[in-house]
Structure 1
Amino acid sequence: MHSAATDSRILPPGSADCHAHVIKTDRPLVSDRHSQPAADALVEDYLHTLTANGVMYGLLTAPSFYGTNNDVLLDALKRSGGRLRGTAIVEPEIGEAALASLQAEGVCGIRLNWVKRAAIPDIQSREYQGLLAKVKNLGLHVEVYLEGEHLPPVLAAINASGARAVIDHFGNPEGADGIHSEGFRALLAALDAGNTWVKLSAPFRLRGSAAPALAAEIIKQSNGERALWATDWPWVGHEEKVTYSQCIASLFECVPDAEIRNRILTKNAYEAFGFGP
């Protein structure tokens, strides 16, 4: 690759990486996990990586393998000097005061990591309907990682509650023809309605669909106003295959328009997560 091409991949001041994990391998892991950490990924390492790549802010996402123990996440937020915010995994019965306490420590949303499950929880249950109401009351968002084929009813329930929805990894559509799938079409309709965002992240986790094609549809549907960029650092399960510079290169491939790309990196992230000076 020519140096000129590399030099052109400069990110605008105040850019945000909207999905990453901090990990400590000495912490207990839940038994029903679908992944596990290979090595520590410390907040100091992440902040150094952000700075080295011209990124100001980061959103830390609670990894599923700790269950509802958010201690590693909260410690990282405390040590981040205001550069990081977080999404926590909680029990649906959590009280609003406990959620507000997490919010005071830098948590801006909750995560439903329901991928690779034999059966997903019932979002229409009393417990989850109550959780969505608490999230909306506090102005938090609901981050969802789920196979695209299971996404429509979950997304519909979040949208109906009035809470903001943030969908991981391009909506994780099914198969190579995922761009035409029911789940991806439901995601596009939600973007059009205006209270849902989607992360252009982790193309290496897609199940055959082409990230640039998915990104083009997402951008066309919302004029780029509901798209976010993220790296999924430190790429659990793919640690040796992915680099931060590759994640930046993927963004430039997926979003060739500089004005839209810069909006994704700054204004969209600020609107979704409250970043900014």
Structure 2
Amino acid sequence: MSTFTKDASWLDWHPSPSKPTFVVPKGAVDAHCHVFGPGEEFPFAPQRKYTPCDASKQQLWHLRDYLGFSRNVIVQATCHGADNRALVDALEAAKGLARGVATITEDISEAELDRLHAAGVRGVRFNFVKRLVDALPFDTLKRIADRIVTRDWHIVIYFESQDLPELYDFFTSLPTTLVVDHMGRPDVSKPVDGDEFALFLKFMTENTNVWSKVSCPERISIAGPINGYQDVVPFARKVVEMFPDRVLWGTDWPHPNMKSHMPDDGKLVDMIPLFAPTTELQQKLLIDNPMRLYWSN
């Protein structure tokens, strides 16, 4: 049990998700998930914006097996700041079945970067969602990008669709592979063929180093879970069909900062064939792409 008291409004992860009807192919990767603490062993950062429930590596492995996945990509949770100990612990315990995306500061030593790489880290994440950060990390990210490009690491960027116009030139100046979280959180109340989403598609079309996760319909949907987040499907399917070799999928377990409801992870898995309707697209989305990005070096 954590010595930290979770936020009063915090929603815990689903205790008994449904068994998916969609059977993922053998070797499938959940390419976006997190571990929280446990806080007693891996304390949450003093500067955190939220205090979550505990969500351990063992609980993540249980979900992985239950849903039928073989591997995980664990993304450093913002509640841990740049203290990557919980992430490294999970990666080392996974014995090669997990890779990681860390949070680092520009004063990190080469020796520490080496240690993270040995543990399985292959990328770093930067948050450009204005309500979640005190300042946008332009200068820091550029300096870090110049250091990690030689390691063949990538950068995961999290932003919202309305902010892409002002971020576009900066993102296209970065030298590494970029992985966009959750399709840049499109506004699904607007047309899938409208100008706002067209800019995101242009971003991917004109910059072949840009990948996207087609994840988190529960965060993007306006209609919500009652209709199965169907308003997100056209957006995700377009990204998958246009860029089949540069897309990833993940559960986002344990779903940090969900306010309206807690998604059923089994039902999220059942959305995969709506995003990637053919066996070939599913193979790329769930196996070929994450293995190439995370396990090739």
Question: What SS does the corresponding residue of 1:58 show, helix, strand or coil?
Answer: strand
Q: CA deviation at 1:104?
A: 1.5
Distance 1:163 1:50 in 2: 29
Shift of 1:96: 3.9
Match of 2:160 among 147, 158, 183: 147
Cross-structure match for 2:51:
36
User: In structure 2, what is the Cα distance between the partners aligned to 1:135 and 1:181?
Assistant: 35
1:101, distance to aligned residue in structure 2 (A): 2.4
Give the superposition deviation at 1:9: 1.4
CA distance in 2, matches of 1:33, 1:180: 37
What do residues 127-173 of structure 1 show as CA deviations (whole Å, max 9, x unaligned)?
A: 33211111211111101112122235545434423201111112112
2:281 corresponds, among 236, 240, 260, to 260
Residue 164 in 1 paired to residue 192 in 2?
no
2:6 matched residue in structure 1: none
Q: Name the amino acid aligned to 2:178.
A: A
| Structure 1 SS opposite 2:178 | strand
Matched, 1:195 2:209: yes
Partner residue, 2:82: 68
Shift in Å at residue 227 of structure 1?
1.2
1:235 to 246, 255, 263: 255
Give the aligned residue type for 1:248: V
Residue aligning to 1:251? 272
Kindly, what percent of the aligned residue pairs are identical? 24
Report the counterpart of residue 3 of structure 1 in structure 2. none
> Match of 2:57, as an amino acid?
V
Which residue, 231, 240, 245 being the options, matches 1:219? 240
Assess, with a 3 A threshold, how the Cα gap between structure 1 residues 118 and 91 changes in structure 2: closer, same or farther.
closer
Indicate conservation of the 8 Å contact 1:211/1:254, yes or no: no
Relative distance call for 1:76 and 1:253 in structure 2 (3 A) is same
Please state how far the C-alpha of 1:118 moved relative to its aligned partner: 6.5
Change over 3 Å in CA distance of 1:178–1:33 after alignment to 2:
farther
One-letter amino acid matched to 1:263: K
Distance across 1 between alignment mates of 2:172 and 2:278: 29
Q: 1:33 to 1:172 in 2, by over 3 A?
A: farther
Change (3 A) 1:238 1:119: closer
Unaligned ranges ≥5, structure 2: 1-18, 224-230
Q: Which TM-score applies when normalising by structure 1?
A: 0.85
Instruction: Name the amino acid aligned to 2:190.
Output: D
Aligned partner of residue 85 in structure 1, secondary structure: strand
Whole-angstrom distance in 1 between the partners of 2:87 and 2:188: 32
Rate the CA distance shift 1:120–1:7 in 2: closer, same or farther, 3 A: closer
Post-superposition shift, 1:31? 5.1
Higher-RCO chain (CA-CA 8 Å, sequence separation at least 6):
2
Taking the aligned partners of 1:142 and 1:46, their CA distance within structure 2 comes to 23
Aligned-partner SS, 2:105: coil
Which stretches in structure 1 are left out of the alignment for 5+ residues?
Answer: 1-5
Aligned length: 267
In the superposition, the TM-score normalised over structure 2's length comes to 0.80
Kindly report the root-mean-square deviation, in angstroms, between the aligned alpha carbons of the 2 structures. Answer: 2.6
Q: 1:79 aligns with which of 93, 96, 105?
A: 93
CA contact (8 A) 1:11 1:262 kept: no
Structure 2 SS opposite 1:142: strand
Deviates more, 1:150-159 or 1:228-237: 150-159
Q: CA deviation at 1:180?
A: 5.3
- Aligned counterpart in structure 2 of residue 130 of structure 1, from 120, 131, 143: 143
Q: Output the CA distance in 1 between the equivalents of 2:135 and 2:193.
A: 23
Cα–Cα, structure 1 residues 129 and 64, in superposed 2: closer, same or farther, change >3 Å?
Answer: same
Which residue pairs with 1:104 in the alignment?
118
Alignment check: 8 A CA contact 2:33 2:74 kept: yes
